[in-house]
Amino acid sequence: MRMFETDRARPRAIVGHVGRKGMRLALVGPAGGIDPGTTRFHDAAAITSLSGTISAFQREMALPPGPVRSAFAVAGLVRGDAIAVTRTRWFLSRSGLAGMLGHAPVILNDFEAEAWALAARERPASQPTTHVVAGATSGLGVAVLRRDPVRGVSVLATEAGHAAFVAPDAPLAALVAELFPGRLIVGAEELICASGLVTVYQAMARAKGAAPRFASPEAITAAAARDPIAEAACETLATAFAAHLGHLVLCYGAWDGVIVAGGLGTALSPMFHRPRVAAAFAGISRHARQVAQVPIRFETMAEGELHGAAEALRAA
C-alpha cells in the first residue's frame, strides 16, 4: 500500500463521488484541484459502508489528526440530513460526516458537480450567461449554470430529469404509449437514459420482426452508422432528448446555451443535426424560433463529478 506524505500546512480536504457503481475519492491539492495520484475508486460490491470507506481512505492518505473539509457529489436528491443515493442501499448523513470529519461537508447533486467542473474550464464571463447542463446516464441529470462577471458562478441543482416527458411528434408518442401502456404521464428519465436507448432499440427491432443484435447503449450507438434499426433508435432517443432540452431552455431561461455532458450524449451528437431532432428541440411554442437558435454543445470530462466537487468546495 502506497502512503502519501501530507504537509500540515496544506489545506486538507477530501472530495468524493457516490453513484450506483461505487464511490470515488480523492484529495484536494494546495491549488484547490484534485491532487494527482490520490484518486481511488471503490466498487459497489466491495463497499460495506460509505463512512468506513472514507475512513479507510483517510488512513491510506495518511491524513494527520484534525478537522477535514470535504465535498461529495451524490446521484440523488440532496435534501435534509440523510441523503439517499439513487438505486443503491446507501445514505450519506450530513451530521454523521460532520461528526466523523470534524467539519460540515458540502454535499451536492452529481450534475450540479458536473456544472461546477464545466464552469472551471470556461474563460471568465464578460456578461451574465445562463446554460442548462444535462446528461443521460443511468438517469437524466439536469443543472442550471449561471455565470456573472460580478457575482461569479452559481449552480442550481434540479430534478428536471423527473419532469413529465412530452412527445414532440406522432411516431414518438406512439412508441411511448407502447413502452408505457396505460400511463398518462411518463417521467423524462424513464425514456431518456442509457437503458432507455436499449429499450427503444429492442422495440424497434420487434416492430421490424428482427432479433435485436445489440445489448448495450455503447453497441447501439457504435452500430448506428451501419445498422438501420440502431440508427433509428439513436435518432428517436435524440429526438426525445432534444424535445426535453428545448422545454428546459424555456423553463430556466437558458438562452445562452445547452451543454450536454457525458458519453451517451456525445455518441448521439451527430443526430442533433437531423431535421427531426432539430424540430423537436425548437418545439412549437411562440418562442420556437428563438429556441432553435440556442446553441447546443457536447462535453465529456473525466471524473467531472470529483473536479466539480472540488470547485464547489473552493466556492463554499
| Domains with residue ranges and CATH for the chain | 13-104 (3.30.420.40), 159-299 (3.40.367.20)
Give the residue, 265 or 4, on which the prediction is more confident: 265
Q: Which three cell numbers stand for residue 138?
A: 443511468
Whether residue 5 is predicted with pLDDT greater than 80 in this model: the reply is no
- Percentage of the chain exceeding pLDDT 70: 97
Whether residue 6 is predicted with pLDDT greater than 60 in this model: the reply is no
End-to-end CA distance of the chain: 33
In angstroms, how far apart are the furthest CA atoms of the chain? Answer: 67
Task: Summarize pLDDT for 50-88 with one digit per residue, the tens.
Answer: 999 999 999 999 988 889 999 999 999 999 999 999 888
The average pLDDT across 297-302 equals 92
What pLDDT, on the 0 to 100 scale, is given for residue 11? 53
**Residue 251: CA atoms inside 13 Å, Cβ hemisphere, count?**
18
What pLDDT, on the 0 to 100 scale, is given for residue 22? 94
**Residue 306: CA atoms inside 13 Å, Cβ hemisphere, count?**
22
Q: Assign 3-class secondary structure to 87-151.
A: CCCCEEEHHHHHHHHCCCCEEEEHHHHHHHHHHHHCCCCCCCEEEEEEEECCCEEEEEEEEECCC
Residue 297 is inside which H or E element, if any? strand 296-299
Whether residue 3 is predicted with pLDDT greater than 60 in this model: the reply is no
What pLDDT, on the 0 to 100 scale, is given for residue 8? 44
Phi, psi of 234 (to 5 degrees): -65, -40
Q: What pTM did the predictor assign?
A: 0.92
Task: Please state, in angstroms and rounded to a whole number, the distance separating the CA atoms of residues 275 and 265.
Answer: 18
The closest of 175, 194, 165 to 232, measured between CA atoms, is: 175
| DSSP letter for each residue of 27-92 | EB-TTSSBPTT--EEEEGGG-S-HHHHHHHHHHHTTPPSS--EEEEEESS---SSEEEPTTSS-EE
Count, residues in the chain: 316
